[in-house]
Structure 1
Amino acid sequence: MKTVNREILVSRIRPDFNGTLVAVPYKVRNIDGYLKKLSSYSGKRPTLSSDLQLMITFEQDESDFSDLQFLQKEFPNDFRVSKRNRNSHQEAASSVSKQQLQQVTGRINEQIAKCLPQSPWSEEKDEPREPGNSVSEKVCDILKKQFGASDSRFVTSGREDIDVRMLGTGRPFVVELRNCRITSPVRGLNYLETLKAVEKTINSQKDIKVNFLTRLPRDIAEKLSVGQEDKRKQYCAYCYSILPISDEQFATARSKIPLTIVQKTPVRVLKRRALLDRERTVYTMDFLKLDDHHFEVRLETQAGTYIKEFVHGDFGRTRPSLAELLGVDQGEVDILELDVEQVDLEWPPSIKQSPIKFR
């Protein structure tokens, strides 16, 4: 039920999505991909007149528990442990049936499905976006109000997909406030108490937390955007391989590090980014085998590396990929969860705080 649940959430968040594939169920699109692979192996093509029928069953339960937690939180009366199970100390169900999900489909609205991107959704769509539903807005709106600014600019050290957690000390960022009418609260040493109070206000919102708010002179703040490709980032990826992987395969892959990879602009972002070949470096890589099919890989890479594509290969657009290094076919390895553990950048920098001159 994972894919059904996720497609419902996406449809509530972005009702403006359209196109030929939107109405096609995920399992049908998936089967279409397998048919092409079957044709390449067998040399036969699918036809409705054939007497041979194949039944393809998809099983993927890694996210069932987290999906169930979401449904139990939003619909506690529909997804709760029965008295019989509680009294007999039986373990609660870890998945949801199609019938159960259908009962709440109509009640999953935009508010429940809402997620928090780093930046506002693209404004190219016809319908106006919902204001205040991004990290940058939740930070900048409060700062603009506090200091009477007419506008702001939110700059970060990179960005991730919305389903990637930012751990460690968080993502370095800087906010430029323009045409501020209120500046006395950050003059001299007043800024210490002022920014502590602002940080508390920002963190009173759900889904967001900032640390170590401070003031920076312009020349220091601009360094955040300089030399982006020289920075390093540390990741931890929870991965799954269709084929079993041995300790020897992990050792072979590890022996190839450090290495330079070439990545074409990924298929998933090609619509909004130029088609380019980018060279990136993977500096370190280590594995933790969980079972024959599941493992964690910790990576330190050059900033700007597409980690998901490095793992599964993106139909051969990333070479070499982790799938290749492990000796399995393209697309046989994929990421189930991805975390950024650290951005190799001291931020805010340790500088001698002197009075900021306001123009």
Structure 2
Amino acid sequence: MDQSMIDEVGEKVQEELQKLPYDSNSFILALNLPVGQTLREILVNRLRPDFNGTLVQVPHKVRNIDGYLKKLGSYSGKRPTLSSDLQLMITFEQDESDFTDLQFLQSAFPNDFRVGKRNRYSHQEAPTSCSKQQLQQVTGRINEQIARKYVFKSPTRKCTFSLQFERDPVFVAGRYCKYSRCLPQSPWSEDKDAPREPGNSVSEKVCDVLKKQFGASDSRFVTSGREDIDVRMLGNGRPFVVELRNCRITLPVRGLNYLETLKSVEETINAQKDIKINSLTRVPRELAEKLCVGEEDKRKQYCAYCYSILPISDEQFAAARSKIPLTIVQKTPVRVMKRRALLDRERTIFSMDFLKLDDHHFEVRLETQAGTYIKEFVHGDFGRTRPSLAELLHVENGEVDILELDVEKVDLEWPPKLKEGQPPVKFR
């Protein structure tokens, strides 16, 4: 525990916080020490069991943490603690003896550390060091006899280090509506090599505002299902949750502040065209993880504007409606075969109502099990969906297709409402 090294680390911490400050007043310290140091600590304990000083039972890593805590607290201006949403991870590296350490372990435990050869087909090099996990597996089998075979050598160069601040993620839940038939849910382009246009997706329109507001380094947009680029999301919207990673600013969403802060964020997002969000609130991780649980048990409602080459009578509509509720089987649609496993999926159509516009045009309102491919249910997808709406209307010799499709409801209470008398969640 060289004091000059501690000061060097402290100065680097101070520099990093000046460049990218966090509004936390505390931090947890985590040290990642070289494997070689851990090995030497084990070997010394085996060679000198007569050591019985006060610190013998205290692992070297704990002693290191104790040596750094006070100094780092001073340099960072933050209080070191055992409970904080901000973690400082310092990784020390000293690879000078990695290869000789590996050779020692391979000699002592040949079955655990097999001598690798370079694979000329995969171009993978033989290992030159061991991992902490590998060392942990043999720690209990290292005895004094094995330890005596190790040749201790002092390093000839200083240990290097890197550091990283990481904050617990913030989860923001809500619902979104999409009013454009040209806006994808996530960044997408037909040409993989074409440069993406910033902000040209629902996820970017929502996440970019949140990331800027809270200084997040990254985000993840999770939804209950998804609509195609040419499908609108109407009604009260589709449930979503955004995971904001490594936020530098969380004071506005601590305690009950998030209630007011997220109203303002909602207004900012809704000032953009093509989308609107509602019910924006902060939720704990365990609740955010429940959004996609039981996905296929949910129900969704759709409105499809359809065209039939052959004329359709009122009697045909009535006959099709009489078959509901109905279980259909859908093979993976042709249009998504590159992205989905080839499976037969059973889905249920719970309700179906028609509005005839003329002999060839009609609207159909459907309530279906989540995961139903609506477009394929209407036109049959070359017989891959059975029965299809075209079959139910007895126009399979002609052609029925969707001209426009809207999602009108995703039947999920999200974000979950507070029970009567239940106070809002406070976040630290």
Query: What is the TM-score with the length of structure 1 in the denominator?
Result: 0.65
Tell me the distance in 2 between the aligned counterparts of 1:317 and 1:324. Answer: 12
Which residue of structure 2 aligns with residue 131 of structure 1?
198
Indicate which of 213, 226, 231 corresponds to 1:146. Answer: 213
Query: Is this contact kept in 2: 1:311–1:335, CA < 8 A?
Result: yes
In structure 2, C-alpha distance between the alignment counterparts of 1:123 and 1:154, rounded to whole Å = 21
Give the aligned residue type for 1:356.
F
1:323 corresponds to which letter in structure 2? A
Task: Report the number of matched residues.
Answer: 245
Partner of residue 218, structure 1: 285
1:269 and 2:360 aligned:
no
Other-structure match for 1:167: 234
2:256/2:427 contact within 8 Å kept = no
SS of the residue corresponding to residue 245 of structure 1 reads: coil
Larger radius of gyration: 2
- Which amino acid in structure 1 is aligned with residue 201 of structure 2? S
Query: What amino acid maps onto 2:208 in structure 1?
Result: D
Find out whether 1:356 has 2:427 as its counterpart.
yes
TM-aligned CA deviation for residue 122 of structure 1: 5.6
- One-letter amino acid matched to 2:250: T
CA RMSD between the two structures: 1.8
Higher strand share: 2
Match of 1:259 in 2: 326
Q: Distance in 2 between matches of 1:206 and 1:259?
A: 38
The CA deviation at 1:124 is 8.2
Whole-angstrom distance in 1 between the partners of 2:185 and 2:245: 21
Q: 2: distance between equivalents of 1:114 and 1:276?
A: 28
Deviations 1:75-107 (A, max 9, x none): xxxxxxxxxxxxxxxxxxxxxxxxxxxxxxxxx
Partner of residue 249 from structure 1, selected from 309, 316, 321: 316
- Maintained 8 Å contact 1:264/1:278: yes
- In the alignment, structure 1 segments of 5+ residues that lack a partner are 1-112
Q: Which residues of 2 match residues 64-83 of structure 1 at below 5 A?
A: none
Q: Which runs of 5+ in 2 are unaligned?
A: 1-179
* Secondary structure class of the residue paired with 1:212: strand
Residue in 2 that maps onto 1:237: 304
Name 1:80's counterpart in structure 2: none
* Equivalent position to 2:223, from 156, 170, 173: 156
Aligned residues: percent identity?
86
Q: Which amino acid in structure 1 is aligned with residue 315 of structure 2?
A: E
Deviation at 1:331, TM superposition (A): 5.6
Say whether residues 1:329 and 2:396 are aligned partners.
yes
Deviation at 1:342, TM superposition (A): 0.6
State whether residues 313 and 330 of structure 1, in contact with CA within 8 Å, keep that contact through their aligned partners in structure 2: no
- Cα distance change, pair 247–304 in 1 and its aligned pair in 2 (3 A): same
Given that residues 301 and 368 in structure 2 are in contact (C-alpha distance below 8 angstroms), is that contact kept between their aligned partners in structure 1? yes
Aligned residues of 1:316 and 1:330 also touching (Cα < 8 A): no
How many Å separate the matches in 2 of 1:127 and 1:239? 33
- State the TM-score, normalizing by the size of structure 2: 0.55
Q: State the one-letter code of the partner of 1:209.
A: K
Q: Greater CA deviation, 331-340 or 299-308?
A: 331-340
Match of 1:22 in 2: none
Runs of 4 or more off by more than 4 Å in structure 1?
Answer: none
Contact 1:265/1:275 (8 A) holds in 2: yes
1:244 alignment partner, SS class = coil
Q: 1:341, 1:130 → 2: CA distance? A: 28
8 Å contact from structure 2 (residues 181, 230) kept in 1: no
Q: Cα deviations across residues 6-41 of structure 1 (Å, max 9, x unaligned)?
A: xxxxxxxxxxxxxxxxxxxxxxxxxxxxxxxxxxxx
